[in-house]
Amino acid sequence: SGRRAADLLPGRDLWWDDAVAGDHDVPCEPVDAEHPLFVLYTAGATGKPKGVLHTTGGYCAGLLATMQAVFAAEPGGDVLFTYADPGWITGQSYTNYAPLLTGLATVLYEGVPDHPKPDRFWRIIARHRVSLFKIGAPGLRLAMRYGADWPRRFDLSSLRVVCSCAE
């Protein structure tokens, strides 16, 4: 089947094509609103790591409300691209949970926005017809540093909402 040899542990490891073959209807697991969803660690002002527990109900309700009120997200129509580190709450929220909660298509990107050229944001937006672009302050400052000539080289007419956050 063209598979390479690998040390797979039976009962734990699967080939991707075997894992996605067939029907995988997985029902939702009902949980209470205060059920832990995830813990995100932060050093905060003290410089000492501490975990911040986010609960399912409040976090998901707040994020869904933001997607509706700020982005006016349209499942089946919008494409979300978030340039924010998933180690930060904004990256965790808009890269992972917002697309799952809203049913939006999302662009996942790993890397720096200025390699090999400072056109990575704009190339991704044009190629994937991104309509919702969420960018953290560090990414926005970097884009501003390179100036308006880079984005002008691309068709960015798909963009409907551009949002920055943090700091």
Mean pLDDT of the chain: 89
Q: Are 68 and 78 in contact (CB under 8 A)?
A: no
In sequence order, what are the beta bridge partners of 105? 79
Residue 149 has, within 13 A of its CA and on its CB side, a CA count of 4
**Per-residue burial over 121-153, b = 16 or more CB atoms within 10 Å of its CB, e = otherwise:** bbebbbeeebbbbbbbeebbebbeebeeebbee
pTM, entire model: 0.80
pLDDT at 60 exceeding the cut of 70: yes
* 34 φ, ψ (degrees, to nearest 5): -90, 10
Given pLDDT bands bounded at 50, 70 and 90, which one contains residue 69?
Answer: very high
pLDDT at 16: 82
CA 123 → CA 41, 79, 115, 129, distances in Å?
Answer: 32, 14, 12, 10
pLDDT band at residue 167 under the 50/70/90 scheme: low
pLDDT value, residue 71: 94
Question: What torsion do the CA atoms of 32, 53, 74, 130 make, to the nearest 10 degrees?
Answer: -150
